[in-house]
Amino acid sequence: MSEHEAGRTDLDPAQVGLRFLSVAHQVRETVDQHMAGAGLSLSRTKMLRVLAERGALHQAELAEALGQAPRSITQALQALERLHLVTRTTDPTDQRRKTVTLTDTGQAALTAGEQAGEQILQRLFGSLDPRRLAELETLLTAVDTATTGTD
């Protein structure tokens, strides 16, 4: 961005916001594709990360930790189980409850997926010089702060 562009006062906040959403979507898609190329999508990585951090969880607890409805993660967990990344066992006291556990294979896949995600983020944001990266951090903090007041 040139000095002229940085000093513009005729920018429409809604248009800038839409551009931000578009770029954020592109970054997410790029990260997801890169991670999937390493064997694990971004959404699957999130699930495995929660299990790695919290240990075995009931399926409903995992869904809550991810901010999703329990039934919405069932298919994803079935796929992870088929890939031997997690195990699901029935609770002996309540046959309807399933406990989800990260396997060693799942931990290895999580590590590889996170490394792939970090590599692409380093490449994307490492293309910014340190001053621009600091500016972006400041701007993101401001937008993040503004979103807390919109609920």
The pLDDT tens digits of the residues spanning 84-142 come to 999 999 988 888 889 999 999 999 999 999 999 999 999 999 999 999 999 999 999 99
Residue 141's Cα: distance from chain center in Å? 18
Return the pLDDT at 8.
74
Cβ-contact 96, 57 below 8 angstroms: no
Query: 62's torsion region: left (phi>0), alpha (psi -120 to 50) or beta?
Result: alpha
Return the pLDDT at 5.
57
What mean pLDDT is predicted for residues 26-48? 93
**Residue 126 DSSP label:** T
CB atoms within 10 A of CB 116: 21
Return the pLDDT at 3.
52
150 pLDDT above the threshold of 80: no
